[in-house]
């Protein structure tokens, strides 16, 4: 899966003031990222507010991104949930012809055991016509997929090709990198651990901030993969305060505030999320004004 090494971005779903999907803004977000140099696009992840999109809206988002991308970058589709049989059915029935891989989150709310997490992904691996990237994000799911479970899945299923690891724990991430099959990709799911993960032997990142500043973020990851540590860390340190700012009031409120400042889309989100506060927007705007426009 060499096409998924580097910088992937978890695309937002822009909304109009009436909370409908803003198609022209979504087209601008996609173009912004393609022109900025990211390596692949992730559709309908957490950052897309997929939990509050109807099936018709999800299909609209997919159609718009696929059409705008026009085959230029690899595409990954988020397909996950806490009803294992329903997700497996979805994987068997969806038209996945435009996609390179599936990103599937560890089951949330149910709080399964490690064996339950293993059996969940076993069923999905047996159902999916595409390679699967596991997604571990304990802060959202309520359970941590431990390295033993990740490695068990990696060794037993050839179509489980990687993990988006958002545990925030470099010891856990390093454990997976050290013991994984050679071709299995460890992808950072946290912007703050993106560069450390790459330098430890990871394959890249699926980023939130990267879609706002695709040129700068992609350069950081590219230099990290090439072993240009000093240059990569110079960007990491430049971006570190913004990484904190955009998650200060939750995701995607922060990244949507960046897009508003850049004139790409509004900062509107759907309840139960709320838009970034005026004070946070001001801080993000000040940060962006200090940046050379060529680096966005």
Please provide the distance, in angstroms rounded to a whole number, between the alpha carbons at the two ends of the chain. Answer: 27
Instruction: Return the pLDDT at 296.
Output: 60
Domain-located, residue 272: no
Q: For residues 234 and 58, what is the distance between their CA atoms, to the nearest angstrom?
A: 38
Where residue 143 sits, what CATH number does that domain have?
Answer: 3.20.20.70
Domain-located, residue 283: no
Instruction: Return the pLDDT at 12.
Output: 98
Domain-located, residue 31: yes
pLDDT in tens, 209-224: 999 999 999 999 999 9
Given the residues 58, 135, 256, 281, select the one marked as catalytic: 135
**122 is known as an active-site residue:** no
> How many structural domains is the chain composed of?
1
- Check if the beta carbon of residue 37 is closer than 8 Å to that of residue 214: yes
Which SS3 state, helix, strand or coil, does residue 42 take?
strand
pLDDT in tens, 229-249: 999 999 999 999 999 999 999
pLDDT in tens, 99-142: 999 999 999 999 999 999 999 999 999 999 999 999 999 999 99
* Kind plus residue range of the DSSP H or E element containing 123: helix 114-127
- Give the torsion through C-alpha atoms of 44, 74, 137, 284, to 10 deg: -80
Domain-located, residue 209: yes
Instruction: Return the pLDDT at 1.
Output: 86
Domain-located, residue 241: no
**164 is known as an active-site residue:** yes
Is the pLDDT assigned to residue 32 strictly greater than 60? yes
Is the pLDDT assigned to residue 281 strictly greater than 70? yes
Q: For residues 14 and 270, what is the distance between their CA atoms, to the nearest angstrom?
A: 10
Question: Which residues constitute the domain of residue 43?
Answer: 2-229
Residue corresponding to tokens 């068990």: 152
pLDDT, mean of residues 132-156:
98
Higher per-residue pLDDT: 277 or 293:
277
Domain-located, residue 94: yes
| Average pLDDT, rounded, for the chain | 97
Domain-located, residue 130: yes
Given the residues 40, 58, 164, 180, select the one marked as catalytic: 164
Domain-located, residue 269: no
Residue corresponding to tokens 């990740």: 150
């Amino acid at each position: 899966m060499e096409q998924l090494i580097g910088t992937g971005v978890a695309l937002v779903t822009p909304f109009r003031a009436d909370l409908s999907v803003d198609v022209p803004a979504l087209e601008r977000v996609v173009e912004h990222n393609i022109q900025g140099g990211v390596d692949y696009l992730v559709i309908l992840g957490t950052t897309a507010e997929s939990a509050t999109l109807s099936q018709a809206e999800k299909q609209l988002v997919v159609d718009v991104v696929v059409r705008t991308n026009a085959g230029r970058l690899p595409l990954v589709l988020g397909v996950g949930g806490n009803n294992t049989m329903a997700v497996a059915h979805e994987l068997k029935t969806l038209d996945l012809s435009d996609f390179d891989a599936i990103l599937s989150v560890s089951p949330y709310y149910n709080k399964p055991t490690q064996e339950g997490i293993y059996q969940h992904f076993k069923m999905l691996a047996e159902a999916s016509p595409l390679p699967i990237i596991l997604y571990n994000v304990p802060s959202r799911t309520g359970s941590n997929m431990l390295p033993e479970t990740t490695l068990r899945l990696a060794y037993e299923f050839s179509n489980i090709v990687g993990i988006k690891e958002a545990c925030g724990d470099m010891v856990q991430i390093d454990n997976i990198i050290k013991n994984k099959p050679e071709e299995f990709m460890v992808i950072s799911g946290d912007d703050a651990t993106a560069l450390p993960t790459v330098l430890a032997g990871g394959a890249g990142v699926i980023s939130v901030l990267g879609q706002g500043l695709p040129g700068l973020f992609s350069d950081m990851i590219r230099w990290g993969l090439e072993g240009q540590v000093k240059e990569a860390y110079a960007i990491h340190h430049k971006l570190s305060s913004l990484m904190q700012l955009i998650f200060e009031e939750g995701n995607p409120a922060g990244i949507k505030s960046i897009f508003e400042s850049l004139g790409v889309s509004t900062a509107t989100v759907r309840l139960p999320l709320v838009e970034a506060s005026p004070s946070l927007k001001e801080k993000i705007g000040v940060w962006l004004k200090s940046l050379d426009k060529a680096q966005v």
